[in-house]
Chains A and B, each alone.
Chain A
Amino acid sequence: MSEKLLIGRTIDTGSWVHSIDPRAKMVAMMLYVVIIILSNTWLEMAYVILFSLIIISLTRIHIKYFIRAAKPLWVLMLFIFIVQCIKVDDKNGAILLSIGSWNLYFEGFKLGLFSVLRMVFLVSFTAILTFTTTPGRLNQGLEGVLKPLKVVRVSPDRFTLMVSIALRFIPSILEEAQIILKAQASRGADLRELPWKEKGKMLVSLLVPVTVGAFRRAEDLVHSMESRGFRLGEPRTKYHRLVWRKRDTIFICFFIVMLVAMVWMSGYGTGELWTL
């Protein structure tokens, strides 16, 4: 179970990207989302891919981890692909495949492929954020990024506390579930050896103890935090402080340049041949 869970795991290679301020990384990722949405032609996509691969190689994390990060979403990607294939009804376009009265047009196929490509890069690339940042720093970064919300009276520390506790609980809850599964396997109900119907029943039976465990854990946590004088919203000193350095600005600049290039390219419609 835990072997397959790649989300939220930091892979430390000590690269340049790892040392970047988490706030910079978050802003960069937001810019990246805009960049990938703006890319509408194959040429633009090629640039985005090149750009992504360069940044990915800067992290010095093996590319297979990025590919694996996108894997769990394959159902969604397949769905997007199929919808695109069905949706496009181009009367003059070339037909790839005909089933009864329905035609698969080349255009639809191309569009589907394009959307999936977008999705793959979106998910894999933004995994940089979690791969190169420890949860604690990530949370601090989130707090920093959310600071502007104070204007509208939303407290960022309340929100980040919630996020950090939720993130902290995921592995513990998984572990707790795994302990029960192992114990059940020892008592003759091995999830791997059961038929599908029994499997479902077993997983449902896990809900009660895992929920009870989570509540117990949450209560302990509240008490231990309160006994150490924690009060929400009170000013606190930080153990690690985020310092904005030149490299953080440079990192964001990469993305801004890329974004400007994208806007420019889509504005002028470069490369008619390449358009979809």
Chain B
Amino acid sequence: MAITFNQVSYEYDANSMWSQAALQGVNLHLESGILAGVAGATGSGKSTLLQMFNGILKPTSGTVQVLDITLKGGEKAPKLHQLRKRVGLVFQFPEQQLFEDTVEKDLCFGPINFGYSLEEAKDRARRAMEQMGLDLSLLSRNPFQLSGGQMRKVAIASVLTMDPEILVLDEPTATLDPVSRAELIQLLHRLCREDGRTVIIVTHRMDELLPFANQWIVLHEGLTVFQGTVKALIEQADRMESYGITIPQSIRYWRSLSEKFGWSEEDPCLSAEAMSKRIAHLVNSEDV
């Protein structure tokens, strides 16, 4: 049991004239070791939800349980140092969070805060750079001289250096080029599948995450309106439009084909490759 939200509400500027409810009674439950996607229209509370996973925002009411730490609304929070080590959070536009004067220092910031020696931190920095497919020569550069895409990758690497059990990312692929986007999603998938980490990704491009995610959460106006597997999501896809999300192309495609050929019992093929193989299989077997 990795993450459980029970009737979690959050208000910005609580107790003032400007208070704004961002989440109102969110319930969700995520097992460890899964790759989860979070979708929702703009302003549905996705970013707020993510910041609760490591206690950056504390619930106004309700209970958030992450690993073995519980945060209750209205109560004083326990020390969150350990939680932050185990839950890595990559914010939206992560390139805005770089602040040191070299890439290496920025990458070492996290590990050093969590008590690793400088040597070990540097070692981790190097590994994270390699994981993100960045050239090691960038380590000595000033992060503000990097290109937008490189800055973003460095920022994600800076969270990977902490070796978190749960990795939470807020639209990590936005503004990246298509190749980097695909690579990043594959890397995150690998972190989940091979290292057994829990990965939670907020995305506006459901299509790129659909082939990999095994759980989906859909938010609408601060409420969880859907939580379940991809299969369940496909079944309920018609509801999505009322939540301000266009039905992803891959789901539309799969649905129209599976209805026609009666594939509803099969595992959905949601990537272009899987789909083309399935169609090839169909074509070959029926001797068209």
Contact = CB atoms under 8 A, between A and B. Distances in A.
Contacts, number: 69
Interface string A1-27: 011000001010000000000000000
B88 A186 contact: yes
Interface in B156-201: 158-159, 162
Given A11-B17, A180-B99, A182-B91, A187 B113 contact: yes
Interface of B: 13, 16-18, 51, 54, 56, 79-81, 84-85, 88-89, 91, 93-94, 96-101, 109-110, 113-114, 144, 158-159, 162
A248 interface: no
Could you say which of A65, A184, A186 has the most chain B C-beta atoms within 10 Å of its C-beta? A186
B13 A189 contact: no
Interface string A55-98: 00000001001000000000000000000000000000000000
Interface range on chain A (Cβ under 8 Å from partner): 20 to 34
Interface of A: 2-3, 9, 11, 62, 65, 176, 179-180, 182-190, 193, 205-206, 208-209, 212-213
A185 B71 CA distance: 17
B162 A208 contact: no
Given A176-B96, A205-B99, A186 B159 contact: yes
A208 B17 CA distance: 34
B278 to A, nearest CB: 41
A209 B109 CA distance: 15
Given A179-B97, A205-B99, 11 more contacts: A2-B13, A183-B89, A184-B99, A185-B84, A187-B84, A188-B84, A189-B109, A193-B79, A209-B97, A209-B144, A213-B96
A188 B162 contact: yes
B56 A182 contact: yes
A180 B81 contact: no
Contacts of B79: 193
